[in-house]
Structure formats: C-alpha cells, structure tokens
A = this chain, B = another copy of it.
Amino acid sequence: MKSLKQRLGEIEALGGMGNLLFWDKQVMLAAGGHGARKKQMETLALVAHERRTSKELGDCLDALHKHPDLRAVLSPMEAATVREARRDYTRATRMPKELEVRLAALRSSGYDAWSKARETSDFQIMVPALEEWLEALKEEAAAVAPEMRPYDYCLDKFERGATVEKIDAIFSSIKQPLIDLLRKVVAENKSVAIPGWSELKFPLDSQKKLGEKIVREMGFKLENGRLDNFGGHPSTTPISSPTDVRLTTRYLEDNLMFGIGATIHEAGHGLYEQGRDLEASENGLIASGPPSLGLHESQSLLWERSVGLSREFWSHYWSRGVVEAFPELESSLGRISHEDFYRQINVVKPGFQIRVDADELSYPLHVLLRYEIEKGLFDGSLSVQEIPGVWKAKMEEYVGAAPKDDAEGCLQDVHWGMGSFGYFPTYVIGAIYACQIFDAADRDMGGELRQQVGEGRLLPLREWLRDKIHRVGSVYETAEELVELVTGKPMDTGLYLGHLTTKYADIYLNDG
C-alpha cells in the first residue's frame, strides 16, 4: 500500500488546494483577481487529472487488486480505499480527453446562458445549453460506465448505488402523502407567525456571536476550521479534513433564522468533515471520506431541522441564546416565548416558489418535480422545450401555485446550467436519512436525546454521529448499507412522513 497511499495522498492534497482556490475565490479574492484564479484552477485540474490517470497509479491498483487475499492484508478502510481508487481510476481513464474539454467549456457557457436566461426570464436562451448537456452526459455515461443507463450513471455519481428504480420507489411512497399534508395545512389557514416579527432588526455582529456560540456548542472546532460571514451562498469547504474545514454563512438583519439556520446547516456538514478518521486521512486513505452526497446532506439537515427546528432546541436557546444575544431587543423579545419562536421558524409558506427558501414541508416537493423532469429528459418522454410548461403544471399540482415567470420557475436553480443532473435527489435522500439517523441516535441514547438537546447538551449527539457515521467514511460502499447498519433498517420513508405529519399537525391542525 505504501506507494498507493503516497499517490492518493498527493491527489488528496491537490484536491485540498483546489478547495482552497475555491474558498478563497468566494471569501477573499478581490474583483480583479478572478481571471488569474481561473487559470490557477485549470492548471490544478490538469495536474490532478494527470495524477489520477497515471500509469503508475493504475499498475499499483492492478497489483493490489490481483492480490490473492486482499482482505487479509488490508484493513477495511484500506480495502475500501482500493475499491474507491479503482473506480475513480477506471472512470477517469475512460473519459475521452475531447469530451472532458467539451464538458469544461459547457460548464462555463452553460452557466453564462443560465445567468442571462434568468436575468431576462427567457428560457429559450438556455435551450441549446441544456440540449448540449443532455447529449454530453449521455456520451460521458456511455464512455465511462457503459454498463449503466445514462441517468442512473448521473444519479450514481452523487449517490453511489442510486438508480431510477430506487429513487422512483422512494419518491412515489412520499409524494402523495406530502401533497395531501401540505394541502391540509394550507386549508387550515391558520397563522402561527409572531405578529411584527419581520420588523425586528437583529444587529449582524450579535448574530455572528450567536452563530459562533451555537457552532461551538455543537462541537465544531474552530481550531480546525473557520466560520466566515460573507455575502454569497452559505457553504462548507474542506481544505483538509478533518483539520481544516471552513464554513461560510450569511446573516440578514431582518431575518434571524436565515443566518442561524444556515450556520447550523453548514456546521452539520462541517462536523462530518471534522469527524473523519484523522489517521486514515493523513495516510492518504481516501475511503475516510463520505460515501455519498445524500449522507452528507443528512448530517446538515439533521442538525438544521431535527435539532435546529425543534421545540427542545429552542426551549434552551431562546432565552440562553437569542434573548441574551440581543439585549437591545429585550422589550420585544421578552414578550415572545420559545414556543412562539418555534412556531415562527416552522411557518409553512403555501404556494412558495423558490426551493432554497422553502419550508421543510414543501421542500421535498420542489425536489420531486426536478427529478421527474430530469428523468423525462433522459428517457426521452420530455423535451427541453417542454420544461417550462411541465414545471408550471407540476408546481400548481404539488405546492398549489404556479410561478409568475420562468425566472421564478424553471430558471431559479443554477444546477442544470452547470450540468448537475442527478444531483437534486440527494437533498431528499438526505432529509429522509436525517430523520432515520436522529431516531436511531435517540434509541441508542435510551430515548434521552431530545431532553439533552433541551438542556443545550449537543456534544453527546456529535459523539454518536462521529462514531457511527463520520469516522466510518466509505468503508461501506453505499450510504444505504451504512444507514441500514447504523439504524437497523433500510431507508425508512415512513419515519420521515410520520415526523412531518406529527410535527405539522401539532403546529397547524391541533388546538393551540
């Protein structure tokens, strides 16, 4: 393994540098530096590609693979590393150079087309790029993983082992119940918001301090990372996990929960990266990383929703967090109970159009809609030209309101322009896993998890997640296997639906 570890360690170090180039570009880089940064990123990608496809690496992997008794000489993490490295090597070497160049160009031109299309709400501007993407991705799948159907390949890239069949089964079991529940909540027409809430202004400096306090108490180590407040989309960037993990967030003066929610969400991602097996990481064992994006998202959503949108969490952090953090607002906040705040942050916004601002209940329906469209585009039952129409019809059906134009509709997300087909489902997979994992943690803690959260004791949960999920990395090939092992059962959409039903019935449908 020595030579392999060294080679993979180099590839990992180059990956970390790429992430630094990216993080710095977002948070630090001055306006005039972006041209040169692009060149640096391209050069690094080239160098990393050379190393990921080098003959020496291939020989090394081959020799290990042919070893008569690999499992006897390698640790589980080492064996998994060989498996992951072989897949990466095979896929990277199968990718035609010409196609790679085309994809890179398309990422850039597709992004530009999307920007322009959204700005003018003119979907036609984006049609050629989307058609090119579909062609290119089918070519990529055919070259790289000829044994898979193209859309399965796209799904599998983000969620190892995912297929149309599996996602169909999951989504069909939640779709109608979610639509029904949402309709019921909306029909109730009950206001649970705090009167005058949106007029309150929360000073940004104090929000920043509150965010840091919560993140620290979640167990995110600022000596192994950073938390920066900047203007863009919140994100988590592992420069070198587990020792250098950087979160960005964004605070808004008139929307306290936007920033605090984003901070908790990113810290959930960050804890996953900080919880990786240090020794394995330092030894170039790439299987110390997470097996799928869905599982990564489960960690951010578990903290953001199961913890950060829970009654228990705010029974502690309302008075000992918010009220304390904003003494200048005491006269307003003093009259608000933690139960009021809990309801405020769980307001269901009926007919809301924008995915990223959607509530917990509508959110999965936004994703389902995108998945159905993507599937249709790949199996040929839908053409690119039909997207806007289908989008409007489905929005009307699922969340009860059509977007006023395409900018607010099918042009709202950047993903398709960048070629990220197959990515959206990981958001819902993550949400389902989050419920299931939280439930298993509670079971393992003798049913005391909620009480701990209510006392502001968040570290036991982090410890449990670290042991069961974070440090296990990709020892198991799919998130599915790991989740089944940890929770004792396969993916459980019933638990997810049950959680949503109970929670929103409690807030909206019962008395109170």
Contacts and interface: CB of A to CB of B under 8 A. Distances in A.
Given A31-B223, A47-B47, A244-B32, A39 B13 contact: yes
Interface stretch (A20-28, A143-151, A254-262, A441-449): A20-28
B244 A36 contact: yes
Interface residues of A, number: 36
Nearest to A36: B240
A10 interface: yes
Given A14-B43, A39-B9, A243 B20 contact: no
A223 B39 CA distance: 18
Contact of A33 (B14, B32, B35, B239): B239
A207 B323 CA distance: 35
11 contacts: A13-B39, A13-B42, A14-B47, A16-B40, A24-B24, A30-B224, A32-B244, A33-B239, A33-B243, A36-B240, A37-B244
Contact of A17 (B40, B223, B243): B40
Q: Interface majority SS on A: helix, strand, loop or mixed?
A: helix
A194 interface: no
Interface in A40-80: 40, 42-44, 46-47
A222 interface: yes
Interface of A: 9-10, 13-14, 16-17, 20-21, 24, 28-33, 35-37, 39-40, 42-44, 46-47, 221-226, 239-240, 243-244, 282
Contacts of A239: 33, 36
A16 B36 contact: yes
Contacts of A37: 240, 244
A299 to B, nearest CB: 20
Closest 7 CB pairs of A and B: A36-B240, A33-B244, A13-B43, A32-B224, A32-B223, A13-B40, A32-B243
A441 B86 CA distance: 63
A226 B27 CA distance: 12
Nearest to A32: B224
A36 B226 contact: no
A121 B305 CA distance: 57
Contacts of A24: 20, 24
Contacts of A40: 13, 16-17, 20, 240
Contacts of A10: 43, 46
A110 to B, nearest CB: 24
A243 B36 contact: yes
Contacts of A30: 222-226, 244
A239 B32 CA distance: 12
Nearest to A274: B32
B13 A17 contact: no
Contacts of A244: 29-30, 32-33, 36-37
Contacts of A31: 223
Contacts of A16: 36, 40
Contacts of A33: 224-225, 239-240, 243-244
Nearest to A44: B17
B240 A282 contact: no
A226 B28 contact: yes
B32 A221 contact: yes
A236 to B, nearest CB: 15
A224 to B, nearest CB: 4
A33 B238 CA distance: 11
A273 B99 CA distance: 38
A321 to B, nearest CB: 24
